[in-house]
Amino acid sequence: MQILGIIPARYASSRFPGKPLVDIGGKSMIRRVYEQAKKCDHLTEVIVATDDNRIYDHVIAFGGVAVMTGTNHQSGTDRCAEVAATHPQYQVVINIQGDEPYIDPEQITKLATCFNSPGVQIATLVKKVKTEQELYNPNTPKVIVTRQSEAAYFSRSAIPHIRGEEPQNWLEFYSFFKHIGIYGYRADVLQEITKLPISALEKAESLEQLRWIENGYRIKVAETELETYAVDTPEDLELLKF
């Protein structure tokens, strides 16, 4: 099976402009993500997808592979779809977050192996919630997982609601899961989901994966014990260990 890893990277981040090019321990963030992804044996090729010449030139300069994409994409998924459409030899596409400089290749492998089952359309990762801070943080989406290891729903709220128990005790009564934002798609499914109009649930929660569920697509989930550390603001850099 041919699997394409794509790292969407844009320069114009509202909270952290130029984030892909920020220096982290002597290397740019996008270079660190790229080099980590290249360590995954399940990826046939890794490409940085960007709409900015500065990022493109930088990736080429350190020996990476990059392509220029349109400037009007609303999400990394849309950017991945544009690149994948010009690489029809790949059956599966992995969307790798460009702001996780220390992503573990094992996470990419775990996601890629979900597609050993021919019925899997889309796949992502989840991790057990360990703290109240995670559970009640709206920036940490939670996931309801079915017995078939598929996502039934994603929410910024703590779900499910534990009736009759104080919220500070909920972790004692249920195994909550949070979403780890890396996706894999069958190449044809990726093209389909990017043509769907924004759905009511997606608009309500501001989570694009709800559009896919609302339109009948199934999302396989695999559980990981590994943590991810995303850089959303300059202050997040201080939390990284070089």
CATH of the domain at 80: 3.90.550.10
pLDDT at residue 18, rounded to an integer: 86
Task: Kindly state the average pLDDT of the residues 116-136.
Answer: 97
Q: How many domains does the chain contain in total?
A: 1
Which region among 19-23, 34-38, 199-203 has the lowest average model confidence (pLDDT)?
19-23
Percent of the chain at pLDDT above 70? 98
Residue 151 in this model has a pLDDT that exceeds 90: yes
Per the CB < 8 A criterion, the answer to whether 125 and 106 are in contact is no
The model's pTM: 0.94
pLDDT of 241 over the 60 cut: no
In 21-166, alpha helices (H): 29-38, 53-61, 76-85, 105-112, 132-135
Mean pLDDT of the region 168-181 = 96
The average pLDDT across 25-48 equals 96
Q: 71 pLDDT band (50/70/90 cuts)?
A: confident
Q: What is the pLDDT of residue 228?
A: 80
93 closest CA partner among 62, 121, 132, 65 = 121
How high is the pLDDT of residue 15?
A: 72
pLDDT cut 90: percent of the chain above it? 85
What number of other Cβ atoms are within 10 A of residue 210's Cβ?
22
Confidence of residue 240 (pLDDT cuts 50, 70, 90): low
Q: Mean per-residue pLDDT for 209-222?
A: 98
Decide which of 19 and 85 is more confident: 85
Domain containing 110 equals: 3-239
Return the minimum-mean-pLDDT range out of 69-73, 78-82, 103-107, 235-239. 235-239
pLDDT above 90 (res 187): yes
Mean pLDDT of 117-145: 96
Name the pairing type of β-strands 45-50 and 3-9. Answer: parallel
Q: Residue 20 to residues 51, 212, 228: CA-CA distances in angstroms?
A: 12, 28, 17
Query: In the predicted model, what is the mean pLDDT of the chain?
Result: 94
- What are the C-alpha distances in Å from 226 to residues 88, 108, 132? 32, 11, 18
Terminal CA-CA length for the chain: 35
Alpha-carbon gap, residue 195 to 240, rounded angstroms? 37
235: pLDDT strictly greater than 80: no
Taking residues 36-57, report their average pLDDT: 97
With a cut of 80, say whether residue 14 has pLDDT above it.
Answer: no
